[in-house]
Amino acid sequence: MSTRSTGLCGRLCLSGLFDRRVCAGACLLGFFWVCFCPDESVPPAGDDRGTASAGQMGARRQQISFRGRLSRRSIPIKIFERSEGDDVYGWGLTHFCCEGIDLGIIMSKTLAAIREKVEAGVRLSFEDGLALEESNDLFALGSMANMVRERLNRNFGYYNVNTHINPTNVCVYKCDFCAFRADLGEDRAYVMDQAQIEERARQAHARGATELHIVGGLHHKLPFEYYVDVVKWIKSAAPEIHIKAYTAVEIEWFAKISRKPLETILRELMDAGLGSLPGGGAEIFHPEVREQICGAKASTERWLEVHRVAHKLGLRSNATMLYGHIDRPRHRIDHLVRLRTLQDETGGFQTFIPLAFHPDNSRMDEIPKPSGVMDLKVMAISRLMLDNFEHIKAYWVMLGLKTAQVALAFGADDIDGTVVHEKIYHEAGAETPQEVTVAEIQRLIAEAGRIPIERDTLYHRVERDGGSWTSREHIDAAALAGAVAG
């Protein structure tokens, strides 16, 4: 406490304008006022998506103004945002502001207790997750997430060189958030044929891509064999490319239309050349949300089961969460806890990717895009809750390059690939380019203070020699840090 008071006083005594003892007294008075004055609840001001210290968890927010003659000049000292949670969350943040200058942040007891857990490597509870959601202290969240990121991935920032293929946009389901899908008879409906798929694979190979990311619609009429063939066509055109294909929702659909068990579906795809599963289709697991935005497609239990079976067969996979629509903090924390539980069981997830909702052209286009603060908060909280996931990806295509770069200081260690032919986000209004160069990605990572490392899909270090590339050892950040230092 004494250090904080000294810090505040020091900053109040800016340029020696005010007497140090007067400032110390004013700060103490202000602090005790904030801590012990009676509650004057005002209606919550933030929106209800958890970006502000909004009231959806029962938190009360208090606005206190304090004016005092501190010196020969009268200056307003505004002590604002004492957001006081209920019994569970304890205190919120206390900011001290002097004529618009933030004089410091006193971290809440709750956040301080969480920080202690993070420092000691103790797992955060569901309630801790909610408390993090309640907090507006972006820097505190970021610094805790950064601590975990650094512990797991040292000073490295990963990227890969990849291409997307969306074999068809025709889909039996009508998920509210989707701007990509089309009905069978629509003009914009398409199905890629063998020649088109092979051509895309050859282009990817020529560009030096190490990965093809495949995700598409669930076509009313195409048989499971088509989807197996897509994998085979790619393998024959570009044998060394890793195929990360089909979300758990698609795998579940294949099981349904072919009446085969999940294990058989996955084995057939693996025999054809499937290398891993992407993390899509998870959306929000909580039934209050899932039933509203995509109730018809694979249930939460089936999504998790597909990944469980895949992990059992030795396939690695990713996981996502689509946030910033009708989801609330408790839905997001529930989602993360469910993933963490499965990861405890299987250990098969590699990377978690929070996906920011893009509303344009979707059936939820009245909902605004998630804010920058929300993007960074979700990133940090994901890193903090998913203590058993090695990697957290800031997918620049949906975050935008600038936010993705900043996210590298909020828990993310990976920025995804150079990505060409991305349709899902661009149809939903993403303003990012279709592709960035390797040099640009490396520059963004380096400028964020990380060492850029090219990885393949399974996190092997990639070494390039002219136009060819080779996957080297599996990345162990500690060993790599030693090698870089040596």
Please report how close the Cβ of residue 359 comes to ligand V47 at its closest, in angstroms.
7
Binding test (CB under 6 A) with ligand V47, winner from 54, 355, 404, 462: 355
Q: Which residues contact 356 (CB under 8 A, 6 or more apart)?
A: 323, 324, 369, 370, 374, 375, 378, 398, 399
Q: Which is nearer to ligand V47, 342 or 355 (CB)?
A: 355
Q: Can you say whether the dihedral through the CA atoms of 34, 36, 42, 43 is positive or negative? A: positive
Structure tokens at 276: 């891993």
- State yes or no: residue 83 binds ligand V47 (CB under 6 A): no
Q: Is 81 a residue that touches ligand V47 (CB under 6 A)?
A: no
Considering the complex, state which of residue 101 and residue 296 has its C-beta at the smaller distance from ligand V47: 296
Sheet holding 391-392: strands in order across? 162-165, 211-214, 242-245, 274-277, 316-323, 349-356, 391-392
Contact 110, 131 (CB under 8 A): yes
Closest approach, Cβ 152 to ligand V47, in A, equals: 18
Query: In Å, what is the CA distance from 327 to each residue of 123, 140, 319?
Result: 24, 23, 17
Distance CA 297, CA 173 (A): 7
Assess 178 for contact with ligand V47 (CB under 6 A).
yes
130 lies in the binding site for ligand V47 (CB under 6 A): no
Which residues within the stretch 132-171 sit at the binding site for ligand V47 (CB under 6 A)? none
Instruction: Report the DSSP beta bridge partners of residue 474.
Output: 460
Residue 179 in the binding site for ligand V47 (CB under 6 A): yes
Q: For ligand V47, what does the binding mask look like between residues 419 and 458, x meaning CB under 6 A?
A: -----xx--x------------------------------
Determine if residue 63 is left, alpha or beta; phi over 0 gives left, psi from -120 to 50 gives alpha, anything else beta.
Answer: beta
Show the beta-strand stretches assigned E in 55-100.
60-69, 74-84, 94-98
Residue selected from 153, 318, 382, 418 as contacting ligand V47 according to rule CB under 6 A: 318
Contact between 358 and ligand V47 by CB under 6 A: the answer reads: yes
Is 281 among the residues that bind ligand V47 (CB under 6 A)?
yes
- Distance from C-alpha of 411 to C-alpha of 396, rounded to nearest angstrom: 14
- Looking at 26, 57, 77, 322, which residue binds ligand V47 (CB under 6 A)? 322
Does residue 251 bind ligand V47 (CB under 6 A)? no
User: At its nearest, how many Å lie between ligand V47 and the CB of residue 39?
Assistant: 39
Residue nearest to ligand V47 (CB): 280
- CA 467 to centroid of chain Cα atoms: 32
Among 224, 395, 396, 459, interactor with ligand V47 by CB under 6 A: 395
215 contacts ligand V47 (rule: CB under 6 A):
yes
End-to-end CA separation in angstroms for the chain? 42
Shortest Å, Cβ 95 to ligand V47: 33
What are the residues whose beta carbons fall under 8 Å from the beta carbon of 357, sequence distance 6 or more? 177, 322, 323, 324, 325, 364, 367, 369, 370
Query: Which residues between 96 and 125 bind ligand V47 (CB under 6 A)?
Result: none
Q: What is the smallest separation between the CB atom of 338 and ligand V47, expressed in angstroms?
A: 15
Kindly state whether residue 210 participates in binding ligand V47, applying the rule CB under 6 A. Answer: no
> What minimum distance in Å lies between the beta carbon of 31 and ligand V47?
43
Question: For ligand V47, which is the closer residue by CB, 62 or 317?
Answer: 317
Find the angle CA(296)-CA(299)-CA(305) to the nearest 5 degrees: 145
* Closest residue by Cα to residue 136 from 96, 95, 98: 95
Residues at the interface with ligand V47 (CB under 6 A): 177-179, 215, 247, 278-281, 283, 318, 320, 322, 353, 355, 357-358, 362, 395, 398, 424-425, 428
